[in-house]
A and B are shown apart, each in its own frame.
Chain A
Amino acid sequence: MENLTWTGSLGTILYPTLLAAAGLFAIAVVLQILTSLVVEPYRAQTLPDGRLSRRGGAIGLIERAPQYLLWALILVVLGYLVGGVVAPYGKAGIVGAISKQLTPVWIALVLTYAASIRYKRRLGLYGKLFDSTVGMIGFGIVMFWVYTAFFSSVGGMIATHDPLSQVSGLKNKLPGTAVPNATDFAMGAHYLLGGDNLARDVFSRMVLGSWEVVKIAPLATMFAFMVGITLGVPAGYYGGKLDTVLSFLANLILAFPVILLFYLLVTPEIVLTGIPSYMAAVLFLFPVLFATVFLNARFRTDPMKRNVILGVVVGAMVWAYLSLISQPGTVMNFLPAALDLFNIPPGILVVFVSVVFVNSPTVFRIVRGLTLDLSTRDYVAAAQTRGEGPWYIMLWEILPNARGPLIVDFCLRIGYTTILLGTLGFFGLGLPPESPDWGSTINEGRKLLSIYPHPALPPALALLSLVLGLNLLADGLREESLRD
C-alpha cells in the first residue's frame, strides 16, 4: 500500500496559502514591533457619529495587518482540519487523517464551547473566562488534551494501534508509512506519525501518553494544595515560631535539587526501606485532617449534626486513605485485602509522593502570603470579636477569599507538574519503562534524535502545548478575576 504524504491532495491549494500567510504574518509582526518602538501611540478621537477615528496611512496599515493575517492563518488551519474530517481517509494526507481520527475531540470541544459561551453570564469565574481570548485559547488547548486522553484511554477511540505492539518493518519509519500487512485503505493502515525505534506507533503512543498526564497531574496537584493549605493558612494566621519553623522547612525542600530528590526517592534501595510509603502515609493524611477541621469548625455549634457529618465524611475518607496507603508488598500492608479498596502501582505511588512533596512548599508559601494579607481584614476581626475559633476563621473566613489566586496557581502548578512528570520519565524514574508517557518517550527518542527526530518530536510538542495551554488558562483566569 502506498504511504501517505503530509497533506494529501488538500495540500496543493492550502500549503502555498499557509506558507504565504505565515511568512507575511511573521514579517508583519516584526514590522509592527519596530514601528511601535518609534511611533507615538495614536490618540483616537470620537467622530461626530460616535465611531472612533483610526490611524490611516502606512503606519495604520502596519498596525492592523498582523490581525488580518492572523485570521487568514487561522482560516487555513481550520481548512486543513475540517477538510481532513470531511474528506475520505487518506485524501487529506497525514494531517487530514489525524484530524479525522480526532473527530470525537472536535465534537466535544465544539459542544463545550457552545454551551459555555451561551451561558457564560451564569457561570461565575468559569464563564468570565470566555471573555478573554487568551483564556479561551488556553482552555481550548487544555480541554483538547483532556478529551483526547479521555476518549483514547477510556473510550478506546483515537489511537490507531496498540501502544505497546511492535510491527516488524516499521522501526524508525517516517510518518505516513503504510503498515505492511494492512489490507483495506482505512484507519490503521498507516503509522500516521511514523514508528519509533521499537517499531511502535508514535501517534498512538503520544495520544495515550496524554492519559498518563491527565490522570496524575491534577490529582497530585490537588494533594499538594491540600498539604500546602493545611500548613500555610495557620503559618500565615498565627505567625511567630510556627511560621518560622514551617517556612524554614518549606525553603529547605525548595532548596533541594529536585532531580536529586527524585533520584533518592525512587531508587529501589530506598523504596525497600519504605520511606516513600511513610511519606505517602503522612502526605495523604492531610486531606483527611483538612476535611475534619473544616467541617468541625463549621458545625461545632451543633454537636449532633457535626457528629453525623463528621462520621460519614471523615469515615469514608479514612477508609479511602487506609486503602490508599496499605499496599501489599510494601512495609505498609495492614488492611485485609477484602477491605482494601484499591491499590496503586508502586511506581505511580512513588511518582505521586515525589510530586506532592516537591510542589507543596510552593503552595505553602503562596497560601501563607495570602493569609497574611487577608487576616488584616475587618471581617476577620468581626469573626474574632464574636468568639469564633481560629480554625473557623482560617478555613471559612480567610481561605474562601483566597480562592482567586489559588485557582490561578492551581492551573500553573498542573503545568509545572506536567513538566516534572516529563522530567521523571525523561530520567526513567518511577514510571514503567514501556509506558507511553511523554517524558519517557522523549528520552527514548533522544538517542537517535539527530537522525530520526520524528519519534521524539510529537511528545515534546504535545507536552509543550499542554503546559502552554495551562499557562494561558492561568493568565486568562488571572486577568478575568482581577477585572471588575
Chain B
Amino acid sequence: MGLFVLRRFGVMILTALCLTFVVFVLTNLEPNLEKLAKTQGNARMSDEQVETWLSNRGYHRPVAVKYGEWLGVLPGYVIEGTDGETRGRCLRGGVDPADAARFCGILQGDWGFSTVFKEDVWKIVLTRLGQTAKLMGWVMAVMVPSSLIIGVLAGMREGSKLDRSLSTVSIVTTATPEYVSGVIFITVFASSAVGLKWFNGSATSAMEDITFLNFTLPVMTVALYGMGYIARMTRASMTEVMTAQYIRTARLKGVSFRNIVLKHALRNALIAPLTTQLISDIGYVFLNPRIRIS
C-alpha cells in the first residue's frame, strides 16, 4: 500500500512539474516578454531597449534554466546589467549580493513577486487559496452529502417514480453550468426587478465577511453543477449494485428492503463514486479557478 501511495504521489508531482513547465514556457514566449517589458518599463520602448531590459533581468536565457531557477534547483542568476546595476534572482528587494542565498525558487519558499499585483506571489496565492478553500469547503459540504443521498435514493429502485423525479433534477443540474445557474439564481432570488430579493448576489463582498445572505448564492451555484454529476454517478453505481446477484441473494434470504439498501448495497455502491471520482473531483474543484457571481 505504501508503495502504491508513493507511486501515486510521484505521478502527481510529475504532473505538477509538467503543468508548471508548460505554463512557464507559454508565459515566457517572446511576445509575452515583450509585453512584460513594455508594461513594466516604458510603453514606448524601442526594440533594442526591450532587448536590454529583458537581458538585464535574465529573461534572455534558455527556458529550462529559467525554469530550474524558478523551481529552486538551479542557483539564481546574478547579472551585471549593461546599465551597471547588478540584478539577481535572489537579490530582489535590495538584498546585498554578498549574503544573498544562492537558490531561491519555489522549493526555498520564494514564490516570486507578481509584477502585476506588486505583491509577493505566495501572498496572492495564499489569499486566493484561502478564499477558494472557504468557498469550496462550503461547496463540498453541501454538494457531496446531498448528491450521494440523491444518487442512492434514485438508484435503489430503478425506474420508480422517485428515481425518475430525482434523475430529472440531477440531469437538469448537470446541464446548468455556473454561468447559467448564476444568471437564473440572481434573477429569481436577488434581482431587484422581478426577483424575490432574498439573497445578496455578490461574492466579492462575501470574501471578507461571510454571511448566510451573501454566501448562499455562490455556494449554490458552484455546488449545483457538480451535484448532478456526482448524483448521476452514484445512481449508476447504485442501480448496478441493486441488480447484482448478491442483492438477490440478500432479498431471498428475507432481508428487508431497508436493510438491503443500508447493509448490503450502500457500501458497495458508494465505493465507486467516493474513491475514483470524488478524489479527482476535489482536485478539480480546487485546481480550476471557478467562475463566481460578482
**Residues of A that sit less than 8 Å from B by CB:** 29, 32-33, 36-37, 40-41, 63, 66, 248, 251-252, 255-260, 264, 267-270, 272-273, 275, 415, 419, 422-423, 426, 439, 442-443, 445-446, 449-453, 456-457, 460-461, 463-465, 467-468, 470-472, 475
Contact = CB atoms under 8 A, between A and B. Distances in A.
A442 B193 contact: no
B74 interface: no
Which of A29, A259, A453 neighbours the largest number of chain B CB atoms within 10 Å of its CB?
A453
B160 A41 contact: yes
Which of B32, B171, B183, B191 neighbours the largest number of chain A CB atoms within 10 Å of its CB?
B183
Contacts of A273: 29-31
Interface in B14-64: 14-15, 18-19, 22-23, 26-27, 29-32, 34-35
B186 to A, nearest CB: 5
B146 interface: no
Interface of B: 11, 14-15, 18-19, 22-23, 26-27, 29-32, 34-35, 153, 157, 160-162, 165, 171-172, 174-177, 179-180, 182-184, 186-187, 190-195, 201, 257, 283, 287-289, 291
A259 B201 CA distance: 23
Given A450-B201, A452-B193, A464-B180, A36 B162 contact: yes
B115 to A, nearest CB: 15
B179 A422 contact: yes
A453 B15 contact: no
A450 B192 contact: yes
B183 A445 contact: yes
B179 A467 contact: no
Given A259-B289, A269-B29, A450-B186, A252 B19 contact: yes
A267 B29 CA distance: 12
B32 A457 contact: no
Contacts of B162: 32-33, 36-37
A467 B228 CA distance: 13
Contacts of A63: 161
A423 B179 contact: yes
Nearest to A420: B177
B183 A467 contact: no
Nearest to A63: B161
A64 to B, nearest CB: 10
A317 B135 CA distance: 49
Contact of B194 (A260, A453, A460, A467): A453
B32 A426 contact: no
Which of A37, A269, A273 neighbours the largest number of chain B CB atoms within 10 Å of its CB?
A269
A229 B228 CA distance: 27
B19 A256 contact: yes
23 contacts: A36-B162, A37-B153, A37-B162, A41-B157, A251-B15, A252-B15, A259-B291, A264-B23, A264-B26, A264-B27, A269-B32, A270-B26, A273-B31, A442-B180, A443-B179, A449-B201, A450-B192, A451-B191, A453-B186, A453-B191, A453-B194, A470-B175, A471-B174
Interface of A is mostly: helix
A260 B187 CA distance: 29
A37 B149 CA distance: 13
B289 A260 contact: yes
A254 to B, nearest CB: 9
A126 to B, nearest CB: 21
B177 A422 contact: yes
Contact of B193 (A450, A467, A468): A450
Given A29-B165, A252-B19, A451 B179 contact: no
Nearest to B35: A269
Given A41-B160, A252-B15, A256-B19, A33 B30 contact: no
Contacts of A259: 288-289, 291
Contacts of B18: 252
A270 B31 contact: yes
A270 B32 contact: yes
Contacts of B186: 449-450, 453
B283 A255 contact: yes
A453 B183 contact: yes
Contact of A257 (B175, B194, B201, B288): B288
B239 to A, nearest CB: 11
A255 B191 CA distance: 36
Given A426-B291, A457-B184, 10 more contacts: A66-B161, A251-B11, A270-B26, A270-B31, A443-B179, A446-B179, A460-B179, A467-B174, A471-B171, A472-B171
A260 B23 CA distance: 9
A251 B195 CA distance: 42
A292 to B, nearest CB: 30
Given A252-B18, A449-B183, A471 B288 contact: no
A255 B287 contact: yes
Given A450-B190, A451-B192, A419 B177 contact: yes
A471 to B, nearest CB: 5
B124 to A, nearest CB: 15
A422 B179 CA distance: 9
B187 A457 contact: yes
A457 B188 CA distance: 10
Nearest to B164: A134
Nearest to A264: B26
Contacts of B34: 269
